Amino acid sequence: MARVRQRQQLGPDYVSGSPLLNRLDELAELVTTLPALYIRYSGGPQRDREEVSRDYESGLDLPGLSANPLSAPPWWSRPLEDWLARQICAYAHLTDGTPDRCAWVLTGREVGRGPDNEPLLSDVEPAGYLSDSLLQEAKRRYAQHFDIGRDSRS
């Protein structure tokens, strides 16, 4: 991953050695190299280690951190970057107007499913952070390559 740069000025929750990913092709390279990767929007890995994940509607504690898978399923025949853009944009709103949240890539052991059927992970390790430029690229690609808002009723 020669083009992956180290993140600078990340604040107190940055995990040393985790790369800052600046482009979708860098993330695609990482996902191809380490296929069991997920994306999470939160205060970051250190903060997540100190808190329990909770289903806010029921008030129940979750057995792991909720995350979205970055590996494309076998039926996906489009470019990996399209899948990544879709996965990134699914919950990107969680960082809007919230400067203490970031998008980060992680590995972990799946221990269940959350209330929205998302994987719940334990034994989590950070694998990288998504830069603002990568998030913007994902939003542009998602808008260009997908019929956003269309569902089975359309």
Sorted by where each begins, the domain ranges of the chain are: 42-145
pLDDT at position 9: 40
pLDDT at position 99: 75
132-150 pLDDT, tens digit per residue, is 999 999 999 999 988 776 6
pLDDT at position 101: 86
pLDDT at position 147: 79
pLDDT at position 146: 86
- In the block, tokens 């590996």 appear at 71
Please state, in angstroms and rounded to a whole number, the distance separating the CA atoms of residues 79 and 73. Answer: 12
- Say what the alpha-carbon torsion angle 58, 63, 68, 74 is, to the nearest 10 degrees: -120
pLDDT at position 10: 44
Q: Which segments in the chain show pLDDT lower than 50?
A: 1-12
Please state, in angstroms and rounded to a whole number, the distance separating the CA atoms of residues 68 and 37. Answer: 9
